[in-house]
Amino acid sequence: MKITRKERRFLLLALLSSPLPLGAQGVSLEIMTGSSLNFPTGLVVRQQGFPDLDLTAHYDTDPFGPGTPYYAFRALFWEGEEAWEVGMLHQRLFLKDPPPEIQYFAIHYGYNFFLFGRAFRMGDFRLHLDLGPILTSPDNTVRDMAYTTTGGLLGSGYHLSGFGITVGLSRNFPLSSRTFFLLDSTLASGWTWGVPIVNGSADVPNLSLHGRLGFGVNL
């Protein structure tokens, strides 16, 4: 998996700001890949000097390119059958069948959920409940004006654009005494506004169902 310089800056920012619980009895680290089914949601594009564009958006995920592939990771800090967890979901959005005014609209460098929440063991399964801010790095051309990702937090090109909530269910399959394979299904809802375009911004909510597989280790 290739991580861009911009992605590395974002991951550093995420790790430095993560509220890590103290006194955990056990720690699990997980990394996943997969894809998502995006449900139709509203999209509002505001550009100075032009009327607003208000449409129902349909998105593809295109999990393996272009740009950084789809991925997710989380760290879980267990106390008995419950855990605090922190993680990140790198969601990717490509607008399908845009109107004539929009030549291209994507957030494939990351519609990134930075998450903090709780996990609960339920027999062979784990329930995950998380929320947190969303950082976006858009790539778009509206009315023939192409947006180049600049500025943002620490000059990374990532912009604090909103917040999100995720609810997930996962199951681990042991590979050894400390490592495991996992399957995960997650429903994610994001509310973002002020996503940059040239001379304007866009409101880009997202509702998506994610299927993932991954690898984990118990420390």
pLDDT at residue 50 in the model:
97
Residue 59 CA to residue 202 CA, distance in Å, equals 15
pLDDT at residue 184 in the model:
98
Residue 141 CA to residue 139 CA, distance in Å, equals 7
Higher-scoring residue by pLDDT: 30, 21: 30
Which pLDDT tens digit goes with each residue over 59-86? 999 999 888 899 999 999 999 999 999 9
Q: Give per-residue burial for 104-134: e unless 16+ CB within 10 Å, then b.
A: ebbbbbbbbbbbbbebeeeeeebebebebbb
Instruction: Please compute the mean of the pLDDT values over residues 7-28 and round it to a whole number.
Output: 59
Q: Are 111 and 139 in contact (CB under 8 A)?
A: no
pTM of the model: 0.86
pLDDT at residue 119 in the model:
98
Identify the CA nearest to 65 among candidates 90, 40, 41, 30: 90
Which pLDDT tens digit goes with each residue over 129-142? 999 999 999 999 99
Burial class (CB in 10 A: 0-12, 13-18, 19+), 65: exposed
pLDDT at residue 157 in the model:
78
Q: What percentage of residues in the chain have a pLDDT greater than 70?
A: 87
pLDDT at residue 80 in the model:
92
Give how far Cα 27 sits from Cα of 13, 104, 122, 207, 218, Å: 21, 42, 18, 30, 6
Q: What percentage of residues in the chain have a pLDDT greater than 90?
A: 79
Instruction: Please compute the mean of the pLDDT values over residues 16-37 and round it to a whole number.
Output: 77
Higher-scoring residue by pLDDT: 14, 83: 83
- From first CA to last CA, the distance across the chain in angstroms is 23
Cα angle for residues 114, 25, 127 (degrees, 5° grid)? 50
Q: Are 168 and 187 in contact (CB under 8 A)?
A: yes
Residue 96 CA to residue 94 CA, distance in Å, equals 6
Q: Are 188 and 210 in contact (CB under 8 A)?
A: yes
pLDDT at residue 2 in the model:
47
Q: Is 67 helix (H, G, I), strand (E, B) or coil?
A: coil
Give how far Cα 186 sits from Cα of 45, 114, 150, Å: 28, 14, 31
pLDDT exceeds 80 at position 13: no
| Average pLDDT taken over every residue of the chain | 90
| Residue with token string 């995950």 | 128
